[in-house]
A and B are shown apart, each in its own frame.
Chain A
């Protein structure tokens, strides 16, 4: 993994890395990449990818309104709200 790739990953995952952090992060990540490369050598033949450990199906919920929304409580934990809205810096569309 090079600096460019790391910068791309940081951008995709919205993580700011300071210039001092980049070097050590890159070293660690390259050790991790070596680890995750190990399993690439396994011959998996025709094994299908396994996303869930159990072979079960999605249960379906009846279409009923069950949640009563307590906005005041939910927004007590919010960093910034006004008039019921969550506030963020101006987003330019």
Chain B
């Protein structure tokens, strides 16, 4: 029994009574304790987890096991959990206990999953390294000196380290895919609207989308099936029926020049090996162009910051959250609570967004960014007339060292390959496809709207032919050591 096994394997173990849900939960809790230095969790919900595991064992004994009964899982600390604090990685919400569960949380609980706690993240999901977390960064299990990526870094690291077999995340501009790539796990950002945003603390509402990390594509598919569907509490969630986990056979895979050109040579070689593997599986590769890609990061920072500037106005120290002491008047209360409650990156985004929306700048920034957004989406829609899926790098490099990227704009550019699909609302995933300098490399697969099934199916085919997704860091060896169990340098 260990959390490096897949959901399917653990489920078999539970149903065959090789171990109980309580044993599995306690094993995972012990692993979390042992790996405390990775800082994957902001809050461990020990008592709640054991109680849920007991209930799971009872359900199994009654023969009433659901699809995830007894399977341990962790939620990114952006999802509200009734009774367990939801911090969003911020001092602002360090003591916030939501009086409701996010829809994603209640759906996974209803399926029987045992929530072990809340994972570390960049503050309000704004960051690509986990370093903006008020609780300090989570660390990359492959090398604790390196970033796990962000913003869902804690979730990716926890799955990678074998603390949980699966975890939720959210992706606004790459916050699932980039940490999945950095940590060597499989992560999916579904189509915008596929998964309810209710109870998910908002960063940029037209971009935020909940998704999942797991060991392999099949497990991600299992999670998506539970998480998806229209939610009457989220106007932007869409009812398109359940995802069909298949695609055309064979598929035509498009390789956009704007992503593949100028790639670091070693990185490019690993990624090309992955696409050749897909070709060997019978699929066709073709190059194509997404001409507006170069404007994506720029437009994204206008739109995401604008939406964030309004979304974060509710943090005013009045009804919940951090409140500065001894404020004389209401404006001082606002200014000081927000100055002390938010970190530097959050403030930068609020100020940027306020700038882009203010009188005299709205047309030049906000409206122009939305026009660019339409062109970027149109590039994809045109491309999908020719190809079934698109394959691309997730990140320009493997996981960088904590503290290595200090300039905000340099950090923003880390997401250049993930942002275009976010702006377009497309489903996209990252799957492990090799190692470079003993660190994982991820391949990004992008599908048309609501065609998650295609890329999950394609990834599952790849994962049947390779074992990159089965590799994991050996965290039992002292932190700082970069050893891993299965010769990651084999490529």
Contact A39-B331, Cβ < 8 Å, known A50-B370, A53-B425, A88-B318: no
Tell whether A82 is near chain B: CB-to-CB under 8 Å: no
Query: Which of A6, A15, A92: most chain B Cβ within 10 A?
Result: A15
* CB contact between A53 and one of B338, B372, B377, B409 (< 8 Å): that residue: B377
B372 engages A39 (CB within 8 Å):
yes
Tell whether A42 is near chain B: CB-to-CB under 8 Å: yes
Q: Beta-carbon contacts of A47-85 to B below 8 Å, as 1s and 0s?
A: 111111110101101000000001001101111100000
B320 engages A29 (CB within 8 Å):
no
Tell whether A19 is near chain B: CB-to-CB under 8 Å: no
B206 engages A28 (CB within 8 Å):
no
Q: Which residue of B lies closest to A8 (CB)?
A: B358
Tell whether B16 is near chain A: CB-to-CB under 8 Å: no
B355 engages A9 (CB within 8 Å):
yes
A74 to B96, CA, bound (A): 11
A17 engages B96 (CB within 8 Å):
no
Tell whether B348 is near chain A: CB-to-CB under 8 Å: yes
A15 engages B339 (CB within 8 Å):
yes
A61 to B232, CA, bound (A): 8
Tell whether A3 is near chain B: CB-to-CB under 8 Å: no
Question: Chain A residues with Cβ under 8 A from B352's Cβ?
Answer: 29, 32-33, 36
Tell whether B336 is near chain A: CB-to-CB under 8 Å: yes
Interface of B is mostly: helix
A15 engages B342 (CB within 8 Å):
yes
Interface size on B, residues (CB 8 A): 75
* CB contact between A47 and one of B207, B350, B371 (< 8 Å): that residue: B371
Interface size on A, residues (CB 8 A): 54
Tell whether B188 is near chain A: CB-to-CB under 8 Å: no
A39 to B294, CA, bound (A): 8
Question: Chain B residues with Cβ under 8 A from A73's Cβ?
Answer: 99
Q: Beta-carbon contacts of B219-240 to A below 8 Å, as 1s and 0s?
A: 0000000000000100110100
A40 engages B335 (CB within 8 Å):
no
B328 engages A48 (CB within 8 Å):
no
Contact A74-B99, Cβ < 8 Å, known A16-B338, A49-B371: yes
Question: Chain B residues with Cβ under 8 A from A79's Cβ?
Answer: 317-318, 320-321, 323
Tell whether B468 is near chain A: CB-to-CB under 8 Å: no
Contact surface of A with B, Cβ cutoff 8 Å: 1, 5-6, 8-10, 12-18, 25, 28-29, 31-40, 42, 44, 47-54, 56, 58-59, 61, 70, 73-74, 76-80, 86, 88-92
25 intermolecular pairs with C-beta atoms under 8 Å apart: A9-B358, A13-B338, A29-B348, A32-B412, A34-B409, A36-B298, A36-B365, A36-B369, A39-B299, A39-B368, A40-B365, A42-B292, A42-B375, A49-B371, A50-B371, A52-B206, A54-B449, A59-B235, A77-B97, A77-B320, A78-B318, A79-B321, A88-B318, A88-B330, A90-B330
**Which 3 A-B residue pairings sit nearest by Cβ, starting from the closest?**
A53-B425, A49-B370, A44-B371
